Amino acid sequence: MVREKEMFLPYDEFPWFKDRPVREIVNVEEPQPGHFYWPELDVDLTEEIIEQPERFPMRVKQLI
Q: What is the pTM of this model?
A: 0.80
Q: Where are the domains of the chain?
A: 1-64
Q: Where are the beta strands (DSSP E) in the chain?
A: 29-32, 35-38, 43-46
Give the pLDDT confidence of 27-57 residue by residue, as tens digits: 999 999 999 999 999 999 999 999 998 888 7
Nearest to 34 by CA among 23, 18, 50: 50
Question: Is residue 47 within 8 Å of residue 2, measured between CB atoms?
Answer: yes
